[in-house]
Chains A and B, each alone.
Chain A
Amino acid sequence: MPLIEINNLTKVYVNEEVETPVLHGVSFSINRGEFVAIMGPSGSGKSTLLHVLGFLDSYTDGSFLFEGKEASTYAGDATASIRNKKLGFIFQSFNLLAHASVFENVRLPLFYSDIPESEWEKRVNDAIEIVGLSHRTDFDVTRLSGGEKQRVAIARALVCNPEVIFADEPTGNLDSKSGGAIMQTLQELNEKHGHTIILITHETYTAEHARRIIRIKDGLVESDEEVTERRHTNGGILMK
């Protein structure tokens, strides 16, 4: 059973009775353990697709099976629970809580989980260690560099041990060196820890770190293919 299976998915925004179709019937499936990049120019509908797949937004028609269950059958608090337990999010602009420490930021999803409080500290420290920020645990996040901030966000996405990590343009606000390091971390999470990763990007270069690229254009799947020459990072420097 695929982790995510969408069939003829459509999304129409209705704003003041004006209908704006964004997704025109998208179909694909993603299995556990995959590293998929969803690519497309701005306005292609890739962000909308991420929001639908991330249980942040509803879809208009078609079907979206998550772990074999139709996503539209979840409602309200149930979607909050799915987001908390099964999904992790990494955003372009990090979205960290200002004036809070690395530890506090990574702990945030646990507040909304049913994981016993006794496990929190270990989980937070483990997640921080995976992203290599153990020496910064008590730092206020405003004192961190952009790359470090994004690592905090990755640790936060990991802390509830999700099925899928959504990364929405994770390198968009970073220089190429820190960006490369982030992509390396994502690759490690996929290869060493077996996390399913769905990466949203508009850069081919970044997308080629994934194993598979789904190209979206004008609300439709343009292509869906394995990456033949996958990019790897070496010591944080991107190898072309």
Chain B
Amino acid sequence: MRFKHSIKTAYRGLEQNRARSLLTILGIVIGVTAIILVMSLGQGAQDLILDQVKGMGTRTIIVGGGREPAGVSDAGQIFSDSLKKRDMEALERKENTPSVKYVMPLVFGVADAGYANDTFNLTIYGVSSLMEKIFDMPMKTGAFFTEEDVRARAKYVVIGNKVKNELFGADDALGKIIKMKGHNFRVVGVLSERGQDFFNFDEAAIIPYTTAQDYVLGIKHFNRFITEAASEALINDAAEEIKLTLRESHDLTGTAKDDFFVVTQVDLAGRLSSITSVLTIFLAAVAAISLIVGGIGIMNIMLVSVTERTKEIGLRKALGATYKNILTQFLLEAVMLTGMGGLVGILLGAFLSWAIATTITNFTNIAWTFTFPVSAAILGIVVSGGIGLIFGLYPARTAANKSPIDALRYE
């Protein structure tokens, strides 16, 4: 029997029970839709996170105090106050770090900011004036504080767009005084709205790091150094130079473990994307359970169908159909059913994730992008077809094994 005719025969078989066929594939449709949805949204989330990380600048290298814990028992060895003023001076010396262009200290904490009767809980970032050079920081009004202001421990603040809106509404914020941790800060600049980004500057107050250390946080160390390599090609060199410089500065020799960590933007992107990938795969695996349930439904219905069509099977055998012919016919019916279910599921899943992406983009300021997960779509078709093959095999064998006379006698 030619394959073309097997397909036609299988199609006719399904067509004669259209309503049943449609209900049968529902399980597969739902399963594949869920998988496509999860994979597409997972990809969207990953793109979003990577976009934010990339927004930090591709040449950015972050140095943190303490060591990234390798496990729970390791936590005691973390010295988060290990980055000191002399480390900064060491990193700034060109002979130590020829590949590093900028070194900016960063301290942070949370505080309530008050103006008149309004308060707003925000993140305080203490930085130097290099901030503007490392990050792209367009100002809505005013200007960034200068290196002079940093040295003078000026109580100047640049506020994010949301902070401005919460505290001042439509009023002009420039030159006004806001209160944080009992100190008065003069607003010297308001940032343009940034949308979702890694540091969430919209809800932040940016002040000189000196002021932050002495008046607001009461600390002597730095939380991070934000550094920038001279060029993208020099990122790894720069990271290596930073490590060597800090080890020397901290008197670490031989096998002594680092009490700091250095993360490039590429490292960070890789790490975050592996987290989202694992989550996506986990969720897709949960969704895949419904495919198995759908497959069992198909097997059940196929068995009913084989019994109902006992006479037809007997007739076909009497007319010369072989074991293989009958097996192929019923397997194809199962595979066509699940394949169609897979196809509908892919389209439905793609449509739903597109709708969700569009809704998110339109109703929030998050730039969520819709990605059609081609690999998931191929996987969906292959898996749903495979489910048809696996769960169709038993009913098809039952059909093919029927003896022609028993089948012809069946009423």
Chain A contacts to B: CB under 8 angstroms? 51, 54, 56-57, 76-77, 80-81, 83-85, 89, 91, 95, 97-100, 108-109, 111-113, 117, 156, 160
A56-B404, A100-B12 known; A112 and B2 CB under 8 Å? no
Given contacts A99-B16, A100-B12, A117-B2, contact A109 B312 (CB under 8 A): no
**Contact A77 B324, beta carbon cutoff 8 Å:** yes
Question: CB distance B311 to A84 under 8 Å?
Answer: no
The 6 closest A-B pairs by CB, nearest first: A84-B320, A112-B320, A109-B319, A80-B322, A77-B322, A95-B315
Q: A57: nearest residue on chain B (CB-CB)?
A: B405
What's the minimum C-beta distance from B400 to chain A, rounded to whole angstroms?
A: 11
Q: Is the CB of B408 within 8 A of A95?
A: yes
- Tally of contacts, chain A with chain B, CB under 8 A: 63
In the assembled complex, B72 has its CB within 8 A of some CB on chain A: no
A113 touches B312 (CB 8 A): no
The chain B residue with its CB closest to the CB of A78 is B322
Q: Known contacts A95-B318, A112-B320; can you find 7 more A-B pairs with CB under 8 A?
A: A56-B404, A80-B320, A95-B408, A97-B315, A111-B321, A112-B316, A160-B320
Contact indicator A112/B12 (Cβ below 8 Å): no
- A156 and B404 CA atoms in complex are apart in Å by 17
A-B contact pairs, 13 of them (CB 8 A): A54-B318, A77-B324, A80-B317, A80-B320, A85-B320, A95-B311, A95-B315, A108-B319, A109-B319, A109-B320, A111-B9, A112-B325, A160-B320
Give Cα distance in the complex from A75 to B311, angstroms. 22
Contacts of A89 in B (CB 8 A): 318-319
In the complex, which residues of chain B have a beta carbon less than 8 angstroms from the beta carbon of A113?
320
Q: How far is the CB of A89 from chain B (nearest CB, A)?
A: 5
Once bound together, how far apart are the Cα atoms of A81 and B322, in whole Å?
A: 8
Residue pair B320, A81 in contact (C-beta under 8 Å): yes
Chain B residues with Cβ below 8 Å from A99 are: 16
Question: Complex formed: what's the CA distance from A160 to B318 in Å?
Answer: 13
Interface residue? B1 (CB, 8 A)? yes
Beyond A100-B12, A111-B1, A111-B5, whether A80 also contacts B405 by CB under 8 A is no
A156 to B320, CA, bound (A): 12
Residues of B within 8 A of A83 (CB): 317-320
**Considering only CB atoms, which chain A residue lies closest to B325 in the complex?**
A112
Asked if B322 and A112 make an inter-chain contact with CB atoms under 8 angstroms apart, the answer reads yes
* Interface of chain B, main secondary structure: helix
Query: Which bracket fits the contact residues of B?
Result: 20 to 34
A109→B316 CA distance, assembly (Å) = 8
Within the complex, what minimum Cβ distance (angstroms) separates B7 from chain A?
A: 12
Q: A58 → chain B, closest Cβ, in Å?
A: 10
CB 8 Å contact bits of B209-245 with A (1 = contact, 0 = none): 0000000000000000000000000000000000000
**Bound Cα distance A98, B408 (Å):** 15
Which one, A76, A85, A91, A100, contacts B323 given CB within 8 A? A76
> Which chain B residue shows the least CB distance to A82?
B320
Residues of B313-368 whose CB lies within 8 A of A: 314-325
Query: Shortest distance in angstroms between B403's beta carbon and chain A's nearest beta carbon?
Result: 8
* CB neighbours of B312 from chain A (8 A): 97
Contact (Cβ within 8 A) A80 B321: yes
Whether the pair B323, A77 counts as a contact (CB closer than 8 A) is yes
Taking CB atoms, residues of chain A closer than 8 Å to B16 are 98-99
Chain B residues closer than 8 Å to A160, beta-carbon distance? 320
* Contact status of A108 and B12, CB under 8 A, knowing A80-B322, A91-B408, A95-B408: no
* Residue of A51, A54, A160 most packed against chain B (CB within 10 A): A51
Q: What residues of B have a CB within 8 angstroms of the CB of A111 in the complex?
A: 1-2, 5, 9, 321, 325
Q: Return the contact of B319 from the options A77, A117, A156 (Cβ within 8 A).
A: A156
Chain A residues, CB < 8 A from B320: 80-81, 83-85, 109, 112-113, 160
What B residues does A91 contact at CB under 8 A?
408
Q: How far is the CA of A57 from the CA of B311 in the complex (A)?
A: 16
B319 closest partner in A (C-beta) = A109
Residue of B nearest to A156 (CB): B319
Residues in A with CB closer than 8 Å to B405 are 51, 56-57
Q: Smallest distance from the beta carbon of B289 to chain A beta carbons, Å?
A: 37
In the complex, chain A residues whose CB is within 8 Å of the CB of B1 = 111-112
